[in-house]
Amino acid sequence: MTIDAEPAVSENSNAILELVKVHKNFGSLEVLKGIDLSVKRGSVVCVLGASGSGKSTLLRCINLLEPPDGGQILLEGRKLSEVSSADDINYVRRRVGMVFQQFNLFPHKSALENVAMAQRTVLGRSKSEAADRSEELLERVHLGDKLDEFPDRLSGGQQQRVAIARALGMDPHVMLFDEVTSALDPELVKEVLDVMRELAGEGMTMIVVTHELGFAREVADHVVFMDEGVILEEGPPAKLLEDPGEDRTKRFLGLVLEH
């Protein structure tokens, strides 16, 4: 395993999120075989890799949808226990937002309601406060005219932007994006990537699992290539995407570029 970035050290005050030797198994299958990763505040990290390399699992371990089986996760300096407790889960989920490949919008609620619901039930905001904030966020993702539409009347790109607004409603410190454009028709991909670009420009810490190499090249501060449960290579996008060190990386990028 080649490591280009600085080693993960808990005294690194710049690191908003650190993973130290994180392991995850599903039954007898080892999916994450010891991940070390340090994410600086305000940076955009893109995670690349073939399916099965463990990239989705990595994200899901960070927000404790899948509790890790070994290693450490530190979020803003706080060590999360190996066996996730309810406190840790709440701590994480109020600071880390996630956007899914399948959008997962609540079909029985309008766009505004989707964004407002957790603000009210989890953060305790009043109905009007949550509604105002949600309207702001939906305008920020350029959907100010779709507040009362239900998800089944929105295009995939629009739904995904609502999903981003929904995650932002919780005022997260870190946003996780799990292949959020992979399920979209090609002409709808751009509108979502644009929103993500804007978000990055505003200084949000983002970890983005994606196949969109153009986005990675332009927006990422740091790119990570995963293969079979380990980080094979990582580094600045200019280096890794143009002149990767590992053969596997070269082959993967070659394959992806051909599309």
Contacting positions for another protein (CB under 8 A): 63, 65, 90, 93-94, 97-98, 100, 102, 104-108, 117-118, 121-123, 151-153, 163, 166-167, 170
How far apart are the C-alpha atoms of 57 and 71, rounded to whole Å?
14
Question: For another protein, which is the closer residue by CB, 89 or 256?
Answer: 89
Helix (H, G, I), strand (E, B) or coil at 216: helix
145/152 with CB nearer another protein: 152
User: Least distance from C-beta 92 to another protein, angstroms?
Assistant: 9
Q: Which is nearer to another protein, 65 or 256 (CB)?
A: 65
Q: Which is nearer to another protein, 69 or 246 (CB)?
A: 69
Smallest separation, CB 118 to another protein (Å): 4
**Residue 242 host element (H or E):** helix 237-242
Environment class of residue 201 by beta-carbon count within 10 Å: exposed (0-12), middle (13-18) or buried (19+)? exposed
Distances from the Cα of 92 to the Cα of 2, 61, 95, 176, angstroms? 29, 11, 5, 12
What is the smallest separation between the CB atom of 202 and another protein, expressed in angstroms? 21
Min. distance of Cβ 162 from another protein in angstroms?
11
